[in-house]
Amino acid sequence: MEWGRKPRRRGTLYVTEHMVRAMRAYGWTIIINALGQPILYLLGLAVGLAALIQAPIDDRGQEVPYLVFVAPALLMTAAIAVASEEFTYPVMSGFKWRRYFYGFNASPIASPQIAGGVIGGAAARMGVTVVLYYLFIWIFFAALYPSQTNPATAWLMIPIGMLAGLSFGIPLMAYAASIEDDRGQFALVQRFIFMPMFLFSGTFYPLTNLPLWLQWIGWISPLWHASELGRAVTYGDLSSPLVWINVLYLLALIVGGYLVARRVFTNRLAK
C-alpha cells in the first residue's frame, strides 16, 4: 500500500468477502464435509465403538455415556480440521501462486486488514461446520441420552468450537505466511502436529489415562482445552477454575498468533 494513503475502514470485510467467494470453487466439498463428517463419526461411534464400551466414562468423578464424553471433542476436532485447511494453502496461494494479497495491498487495504480478512473467511466456514456438527450432536443426545446433558449451556459448544479452530489456525496462518516455497511443510504439520494432537489430547478417553510422559501433549494442545470446555458446558461443572484457565489459554493463542501473523503479513507485503 502506498505511504500516505489511509486504509479503507471496511478493508477487512472486503478481504473476508473475497475469501468466502473463493470458497465457491470447492463449495460442494465444504458442504459434504460439514454434513458427512458428523454423520459418519457419530453413527460410527454410536453403532460401533460406543456399543462395545458399555461402561460409562468416569470424567472428573462424573459418569457419562461414552458418546456423550467424546462428542464435544469431535466438534472441536472438526473446527480445527477446517482451520488446518483454510490457514495453510489459501494463505500461501495469496502470497505465492495467485498473489492476490499483493493486489489487495496495492489498494487502500492495509496488511493487518488482509490478515484479518483471511481470519474472517476461515471463521465463516468454521461457523457453518460447528453449527451443523452441534445440530447432529443435539439430535443424537436428544434421542439417546435426553437426561445426560444440559441443554441450557450445551449450545456454548458452538463458540467454543470457533475458539478451538482460531486458536490453532491463526498461529498456523502466521507460519504459512512465512513460507516461501512449498516443500511439504503442511504435510508435516498434519502428520506431526495435528494427528498427535488428535490422538493424545483426551479426544477418545480422559487424558489421565495416558502415561505422564505423554500427557504434556494434551496440556499444550488447544484441542484438549477446547474439549474440556465443551464437556464442561455439556455435562460438567462450569464453576471450576479450570474453565477460565482453558478459556485464557485459547485466547492467548489467538491474540499471540494474530500479533505475529499481522507482523509477518506486513513485512512480506512490504517487499
The 10s digit of each residue's pLDDT in 5-31 is 566 778 899 999 999 999 988 888 888
Residue 109 lies in a domain: yes
Can you give the residue range of the structural domain that contains 42? 11-269
- Segment 205-228 shows an average pLDDT of 94
Residue 111 lies in a domain: yes
Residue 6 lies in a domain: no
Cβ neighbors of 68 (< 8 A, separation 6 or more) are: 141, 145, 148, 149, 234, 235
Residue 201 lies in a domain: yes
Q: In angstroms, what CA-CA distances link 85 with 47, 63, 151, 195, 241?
A: 29, 35, 31, 14, 33
The angle formed by the CA atoms of residues 181, 182 and 184, to the nearest 5 degrees, is 140
Residues linked to residue 59 through DSSP beta bridges, in sequence order: 62
Q: What is the mean pLDDT of the chain?
A: 89
Residue 80 lies in a domain: yes
The 10s digit of each residue's pLDDT in 152-204 is 899 999 999 999 999 999 999 999 999 999 899 999 999 999 999 999 999 98
Residue 107 lies in a domain: yes
> Cβ of 258: how many Cβ atoms within 10 Å?
19
Q: What is the pTM assigned to this prediction? A: 0.92
Q: How confident is the model at residue 266 (pLDDT cuts 50, 70, 90)?
A: very high
The DSSP H or E segment spanning 184 is: none
Our count of domains for the chain comes to: 1
Residue 151 lies in a domain: yes
Residue 3 lies in a domain: no
Q: In angstroms, what CA-CA distances link 124 with 19, 86, 105, 117, 118?
A: 10, 11, 22, 11, 10
Q: Decide if pLDDT at 44 tops 60.
A: yes
Place of cell 496488511: 111
